[in-house]
Amino acid sequence: MDQNAPETNDIPDVVVRRLPIYARTLDYLLTEGKSSVSSQELGERINVTAAQIRKDLSWFGEFGKQGIGYDVEKLLGHINRILGLTVNWPVVLVGLVYLGQAIARYAGFREKGLHIVALFDADPTKAGTILNGLPIQGDEEIPRTVATHGVKLAIVAVPATKAQEVVDQLIAAGVRGILNYAPIIVQAPEGVWVRHIDPVSLLHSMTYYLAREQAT
């Protein structure tokens, strides 16, 4: 839905989206000291059927052994390679009101190979302020900074009214993947990926079920 993948790619996007969740779960299993896991057990942890997991992973080769399951560390390594996570990825963050500030301070990105290398905000009174070790730059610095760092990924946490403009600016500067927190579906040309974080829509998809229950 928020996906503009070029059509040259055969693997369904829904599968690509599940891989990081498998990786996260394998990470937990490792910290729990587990060295092997069945597709059944992996599936139970993330509410996916064992068959689905086997089918998803079969896109990328033969990983498991019948009756033994998956080697946790090996499978995690495989998935991380598939996801391009053998290197760290520089990321820029635009929009530093409350949510953006929380994102800038969140350690979980860096732990997972996503290094926020620059912060931008349109508010000139914020320029030069240091946030979590990085100076806040004006939006006009986006082109130069994105080019200097060869940044391909951006997180957008600006208001809805500014989101499309910022996204256009990022794409013009060379960004190819955008995680958008603004409550608007932003448009991007083919070859640029956009993912939306939309808590209101997720909550509304639950009120649907709750309302139905109350009605019966």
Q: Which stretch binds a second copy (CB under 8 A): 61-69, 120-128, 165-173, 199-207?
A: 199-207
51 belongs to the binding site for a second copy (CB under 8 A)? no
| Alpha carbons 47 and 163: distance in angstroms, whole number | 33
Q: Which stretch binds a second copy (CB under 8 A): 70-78, 95-103, 121-129, 140-148?
A: 95-103
5 belongs to the binding site for a second copy (CB under 8 A)? yes
Kindly state the tokens that stand for 151: 């940044």
The residue within the footprint of a second copy, chosen from 34, 45, 149, 162 (CB under 8 A), is 45
155 belongs to the binding site for a second copy (CB under 8 A)? yes
Query: Angle CA(192)–CA(95)–CA(204) in degrees, nearest 5?
Result: 75
Q: For residues 111-150, which are near a second copy according to CB under 8 A?
A: 112-114
Q: Is 73 exposed, middle or buried (0-12, 13-18, 19+ CB in 10 A)?
A: middle
DSSP code for 113 = T
SS3 (DSSP) at 36: strand
Kindly state the tokens that stand for 74: 């090996």
Q: Which stretch binds a second copy (CB under 8 A): 14-22, 33-41, 61-69, 117-125?
A: 14-22
Report yes or no: 169 and 196 within 8 Å, Cβ to Cβ: no
| Alpha carbons 32 and 62: distance in angstroms, whole number | 25
Site for a second copy, rule CB under 8 A: 1-5, 9, 13, 16-21, 23-25, 28, 45-48, 82-85, 89, 91, 98-99, 101-103, 105-106, 108-109, 112-114, 152-153, 155, 176-177, 179, 183-185, 187, 193, 195, 197-214
